[in-house]
Structure 1
Amino acid sequence: MLKQLLADRECVPPLGTIDQRLRQCNISRRSFLVFCTSLMVAAPYGLALTDKTRPEDVAAVLGKVIRPPVIWLHFQDCTGCTESLLQTSHPGFADLILNVISLEYHETLMAGSGAQARQALDEAMQRYAGKYILVVEGSIPMGAQGIYMKSGGRTAMEVLTDVGGKAAAIIAIGSCASWGGIPSADPDPTGAVGVADLLPDHSIINIPGCPPNPYTMLGVVLQYAADGTLPETDEQRRPKFAFDRDIHEHCPRRAHFDAGNFVKVYGDAGHREGWCLYEMGCKGPDTHAGCSTRHFNEIPDVWPIGIGAPCIGCTEKAVAFKVPMFEVVQLHTIAAPPTSYASITTTRGTISPLATGLVGLGVGVLATGGYVASRKFSRKQDDDDAPGEDPGSHERPQP
Structure 2
Amino acid sequence: MSDGRTLGQLLAQRGVSRRAFLKYSSYLASLMALPPAASRAMAEGLAKAPRQSVIWLSFQECTGCTESITRAHSPTLEDLIFDFISLDYHHTLQAASGEAAEAARHEAMAANKGKYIVVVDGSVPVGAGAIYSTIAGITNQQMLEETVKDAFAVVAVGTCAAFGGIPHARPNPTNAMPIRRLVKDKPVINISGCPPIPEAMAGTLAHVLAFGNVPELDSHGRPLAFFGDSIHDRCYRRPFYDKGQFAESFDDDGARKGWCLYKLGCKGPVTYNACATLKWNGGVSFPIQSGHGCLGCSEPHFWDMGGFYKPVSAPSDEVGPLAAIAVAGGAAAGVAAGLVHRAAKVKAKAAHTTVTVDDLEKTS
| 8 Å Cα contact 2:163-2:301 kept in structure 1 | no
Specify whether residues 322 and 190 from structure 1 end up closer, same or farther in structure 2 by C-alpha distance, changes over 3 A only: farther
For 1:217, the aligned partner's letter is M
Q: 1:310 aligns with which of 293, 313, 318?
A: 293
Select the structure with the greater relative contact order (CA < 8 A; seq sep ≥ 6).
2
CA–CA separation in structure 2 for the residues paired with 1:136 and 1:227:
21
CA-CA distance at 1:150 after TM superposition: 0.5
Q: 1:286 aligns with which of 270, 289, 294?
A: 270
| 8 Å Cα contact 1:231-1:239 kept in structure 2 | yes
Aligned to 1:339: 324
SS at match of 2:57: strand
Structure 1 unaligned segments of length 5 or more: list them.
Answer: 4-12, 346-399
Aligned to 1:119: 103
Specify whether residues 58 and 155 from structure 1 end up closer, same or farther in structure 2 by C-alpha distance, changes over 3 A only: closer
Larger Rg: 1
| 8 Å Cα contact 2:74-2:199 kept in structure 1 | no
Aligned to 2:243: 259
For 1:317, the aligned partner's letter is P
Structure 2 unaligned segments of length 5 or more: list them.
Answer: 332-364
Aligned to 1:134: 118
Deviates more, 1:218-227 or 1:247-256: 218-227
* Residue 276 of structure 1 pairs with residue 260 of structure 2: yes
SS at match of 1:296: coil
CA–CA separation in structure 1 for the residues paired with 2:221 and 2:301:
14
Aligned to 2:5: 16
CA–CA separation in structure 2 for the residues paired with 1:96 and 1:125:
19
For 1:77, the aligned partner's letter is E
CA-CA distance at 1:335 after TM superposition: 7.2
CA–CA separation in structure 2 for the residues paired with 1:227 and 1:344:
51
CA-CA distance at 1:55 after TM superposition: 6.6
Aligned to 2:342: none
CA–CA separation in structure 1 for the residues paired with 2:179 and 2:89:
18
Aligned-residue Cα RMSD (Å) equals: 2.5
Q: 2:161 aligns with which of 173, 177, 183?
A: 177
Cα displacement string for residues 323-360 of structure 1 (whole angstroms, at most 9, x for unaligned residues): 31112111248974453233669xxxxxxxxxxxxxxx
Specify whether residues 281 and 154 from structure 1 end up closer, same or farther in structure 2 by C-alpha distance, changes over 3 A only: same
SS at match of 1:330: coil
Cα displacement string for residues 69-127 of structure 1 (whole angstroms, at most 9, x for unaligned residues): 11111001111111111112233322211111111111111111111111111111111
SS at match of 2:80: helix
Q: 1:68 aligns with which of 52, 56, 59?
A: 52
Counterpart mapping for 1:190-209 below 5 A:
190-209=174-193
CA–CA separation in structure 2 for the residues paired with 1:28 and 1:296:
29
CA–CA separation in structure 2 for the residues paired with 1:133 and 1:317:
24
Deviates more, 1:221-230 or 1:17-26: 221-230
SS at match of 1:136: strand
Specify whether residues 130 and 234 from structure 1 end up closer, same or farther in structure 2 by C-alpha distance, changes over 3 A only: same
Counterpart mapping for 1:342-357 below 5 A:
342=328
CA-CA distance at 1:34 after TM superposition: 5.5
Cα displacement string for residues 231-259 of structure 1 (whole angstroms, at most 9, x for unaligned residues): 12121111112111111111011111112
Counterpart mapping for 1:1-399 below 5 A:
14-27=3-16, 32-33=21-22, 35-38=24-27, 41-42=29-30, 44=32, 47-49=34-36, 58-301=42-285, 303-332=286-315, 336=319, 337-341=322-326, 342=328
For 1:280, the aligned partner's letter is L
Deviates more, 1:96-105 or 1:60-69: 60-69
CA–CA separation in structure 2 for the residues paired with 1:272 and 1:300:
20
Aligned to 1:375: none
CA–CA separation in structure 1 for the residues paired with 2:38 and 2:109:
38
Cα displacement string for residues 186-237 of structure 1 (whole angstroms, at most 9, x for unaligned residues): 2211111110111133211111111112222233323333333211212111
| 8 Å Cα contact 1:15-1:68 kept in structure 2 | no
For 1:191, the aligned partner's letter is N
| 8 Å Cα contact 1:314-1:321 kept in structure 2 | no
TM-score, length-scaled by structure 2 = 0.82
CA–CA separation in structure 1 for the residues paired with 2:189 and 2:38:
29
TM-score, length-scaled by structure 1 = 0.76
CA-CA distance at 1:128 after TM superposition: 0.9
CA–CA separation in structure 2 for the residues paired with 1:270 and 1:242:
30
CA–CA separation in structure 1 for the residues paired with 2:268 and 2:3:
41
CA–CA separation in structure 2 for the residues paired with 1:191 and 1:31:
48
| 8 Å Cα contact 1:243-1:288 kept in structure 2 | yes
Cα displacement string for residues 281-314 of structure 1 (whole angstroms, at most 9, x for unaligned residues): 110001111111111232232x211211111111
| 8 Å Cα contact 2:227-2:274 kept in structure 1 | yes
Specify whether residues 37 and 268 from structure 1 end up closer, same or farther in structure 2 by C-alpha distance, changes over 3 A only: farther
For 2:265, the aligned partner's letter is G
CA–CA separation in structure 2 for the residues paired with 1:88 and 1:328:
32
Aligned to 2:349: none
SS at match of 2:55: strand
Equivalent pairs, count: 328
Relative to its length, the structure with more helix (as a share) is: 2
